[in-house]
Structure 1
Amino acid sequence: MSDDLLLHSHLIGRQGGRADLNTPVLVLDLAALDRNIAAMAAFVAARGVALRPHAKTHKSVDIAKRQVAAGAVGLCCAKIGEAEVLVDGGIAGVLITSPVAAPRAIERLAALAGRADRLMAVIDHPDVAARIDAALAAVGARLDIVVDIDPGIARTGVASADAAVDLARVVTGLPNLRYCGVQFYCGTQQHIEDYAERRSAIAERTVYLSGVIAALSGAGHPPAIVTGSGTGTHRIDLDLGVFTELQAGSYIFMDQQYLACDLTGDGTRPFETALGVDARVVSANHSALVTIDAGFKSLSTDGGVALVRSGAPEQAHFAFMGDEHAALVSPGIGDALGPGDPVTLTVPHCDPTVNLYDHYHVVADDMLVAIWPVGARGRAR
């Protein structure tokens, strides 16, 4: 039994049990989570587009099942390790959104294809396509393939429309691969805070995508699936009308990076903050500063700093103070708060923060209602 279960299982269902959690701890508001899942599902369904949410955000079979129950056609995974966890947890329609190229990883992909329902993977190089086809032949499996298109960041994906056509031709010529469509994920545009600026950037990239699709169609390889988008651009992409399915992921949690973005163009927030980290004051010996027990080991560092949600003044400045600690700085905070007092933080970037924890502590107000494993934590290969 993990430390989380040993420490906290007895608190499940106890009124006020959240206050007795050992901190720092990853907390998930169940009602807000379910409202976020329902809101995105309804919004996408109203446009006649499919939703395949990205599980790199939550890495959880429990959350994936709730998304499928709400209408998702499957889940996305960043790496094969995540996909193995979801598939073995009963999730169908998994798309691996990063190229699988290492020899051992290709063997695992072929094995997973043999036991998965509707598994898909992206490819961006003809040599890799041939290797995957050979691995599938060795185990007697087939695999649906999506051609990954570089949106301009040179991370993954074919670099031109001609290259997309050439790769689609290769895939259709291999007996164990089935060409299904294209992927186009504009990651750098997701966090442009101003709506008009973000829309302009995405519109320009969508013109390029439309050109690639036209080239594929003209060559006899029209994509049945056009997959991509994210939380930051989901409404814009639906308005532009090119994607057949969306891969949005962070909408279920809403971290500080996305809370800083105008997602709608009118300043309204379509999704609630469902994820947080509960921490405690461990030292309060200065009037304008208290120390809490959540440092680099408890929060991601790539998206700015955490914000106070409750338990301390919202304007308190958060500052990392090392692996184990952070400071909350505000006039008089050390007089108002004492050691042991609880504080809830909004996380800077949800995906890497979740990857720091073994479990979600699922709460309803002040009650702990469940402990869910972060089953795909650390599955980066």
Structure 2
Amino acid sequence: MYQPQVGDSLELLDTPSMLVDLTLMEANISSLMQRLQAKKVAVRPHLKTVKSPELARKLLESGAIGGCVAKLSEAEVMASAGIEDLLITTEIVGQPKLTRLISLVQKHPALKVVVDSLAGAQALNQRLSEARLEIDVLLDLNVGQNRCGVNPGDDARTLAHHIGMLSQLHLIGVQGYEGHLQHIHNPEERTQRCRQAMQLLTETATQLRSDGFPITIVTTGGTGTAEICAEVDGVTEVQPGSFIFMIQTITRAWSNIC
């Protein structure tokens, strides 16, 4: 099979092919890292867009503390390439995937997952117990997208106390994904609604700490809202991902998401 080389004409490319403007990509990475690091929050880029260990390493070299993935299969690819500090941002459900997760945790113990239900937490705890493994978990909170996550406040606290009785799970943080807000065109409305979502997230984190849980991670914020989230007291890290391939610089994009 012919492998395209730098300088080849477009006619030699098979379809589908992914073409990346490396200069623009580097500018996006540099701009985002500089703007967010100035706000003293950690950057844990979501890798569901790039799906590339090589680009994940580039993000780490630029200052990212680790990575997020949406699926177990993405975690397997990244971990096998040496990307260790990973958070799987959607719940792992069902025995086939739990079996794969156990296999992954055996080799990569720094992996973290989210939970949003007692049934899910118990199933995970059972499989970990059988394998004599433990794992750090985050509560996935529903901050308005209504796709997954436990409700903030009392529901989250109740679930946290149940998790606290599960021997193999260590609750260390909360996650709240405000994806429903990232494409609000009006910057003022986007900012206002994002801050409301962040209030749900950070207040729940404070409540859990008052209950005795060592909540050290409060993670949130996609490309369209990361800079807003980073300005909220109590947020410790943000998860922008698609910024890397945007066709305008991230600075312009944040002021006019469309």
The answer to whether TM tops 0.5 is yes
Is 1:68 paired with 2:68?
no
Shift of 1:61: 1.2
Shift of 1:220: 1.6
What residue is the counterpart of 2:142 in the other structure? 150
- Would you say the 8 A contact 1:193–1:262 is kept in 2? no
Q: RMSD of aligned C-alpha atoms? A: 2.2
What residue is the counterpart of 2:180 in the other structure? 188
Whole-Å separation in 2 of the counterparts to 1:244 and 1:27? 34
What residue is the counterpart of 1:237 in the other structure? 229
Is 1:202 paired with 2:227?
no
What percentage of residue pairs aligned between the two structures are identical?
A: 33
Whole-Å separation in 1 of the counterparts to 2:208 and 2:63? 29
What residue is the counterpart of 1:50 in the other structure? 42
Q: SS at 2:36's partner residue? A: helix
Higher mean alpha-carbon deviation, 155-164 vs 210-219, is at: 210-219
Is 1:12 paired with 2:5?
yes
Output the TM-score relative to the length of structure 2: 0.91
Shift of 1:23: 4.4
Whole-Å separation in 1 of the counterparts to 2:16 and 2:201? 44
Q: Which has the higher helix share?
A: 2
Shift of 1:38: 2.2
User: What stretches of structure 1 of length at least 5 have no aligned partner?
Assistant: 1-5, 270-302, 304-381
The residue type equivalent to 1:254 in the other structure is M
Shift of 1:251: 0.7
User: What stretches of structure 2 of length at least 5 have no aligned partner?
Assistant: none
Query: What pairs up with 1:119-268 in 2 under 5 angstroms?
Result: 119-254=111-246, 263-264=254-255
Whole-Å separation in 1 of the counterparts to 2:128 and 2:160? 18
Pick one of 105, 112, 128 that aligns with 2:104.
112
Shift of 1:179: 1.0
- Would you say the 8 A contact 2:220–2:226 is kept in 1? no
Whole-Å separation in 1 of the counterparts to 2:184 and 2:30? 25
Q: SS at 1:236's partner residue? A: helix
The residue type equivalent to 1:157 in the other structure is G
The residue type equivalent to 1:220 in the other structure is G
Q: SS at 1:240's partner residue? A: coil
For residues 132-158 of structure 1, the C-alpha deviation after alignment (integer angstroms, 9 at most, x for no partner) is 111112222211100000012221110
Whole-Å separation in 2 of the counterparts to 1:111 and 1:23? 35
- Would you say the 8 A contact 1:213–1:222 is kept in 2? no
- Would you say the 8 A contact 1:234–1:246 is kept in 2? yes
Query: CA distance change for structure 1 residues 55 and 262 in 2, over 3 Å: closer, same or farther?
Result: closer
Q: How many residues align?
A: 257
Query: CA distance change for structure 1 residues 167 and 240 in 2, over 3 Å: closer, same or farther?
Result: same
Q: Which has the higher strand share?
A: 1
- Would you say the 8 A contact 2:143–2:177 is kept in 1? yes
What residue is the counterpart of 2:30 in the other structure? 38
Shift of 1:232: 0.4
Pick one of 93, 100, 103 that aligns with 1:101.
93
Q: SS at 1:192's partner residue? A: coil
